[in-house]
Amino acid sequence: MRWSDVSAIQPETSAAKVMNDSDLDRGKRICASGTIAEIVAEKVGTSPAVQAAH
């Protein structure tokens, strides 16, 4: 996937909203630039959950 594939898609939330109440914004699109330092995957129920830290 390239940035041009998703650049026209509007985000549904922002980093500030997620930091304020992540439960309200779970599953919504967010666009941000930065560097990913760590990705952690955990199993939640029957679905995998992925967490990224930058």
Residue, of 48 and 2, whose pLDDT is higher: 2
| pLDDT score of 51 | 63
Q: Per the structure, how many domains does the chain have?
A: 1
Cα–Cα distance measured from residue 24 to residue 34, given in angstroms and rounded to the nearest whole number: 23
Q: Domain range for residue 16? A: 3-53
Q: What integer pLDDT is reported at residue 22 of this predicted model? A: 80
What is this structure's pTM? 0.45
Compute the residue count for the chain: 54
Among candidates 10, 45, 47, which has minimal Cα distance to 30?
A: 10
pLDDT in tens, 3-48: 777 777 788 888 888 888 888 888 888 877 788 787 777 766 766 6
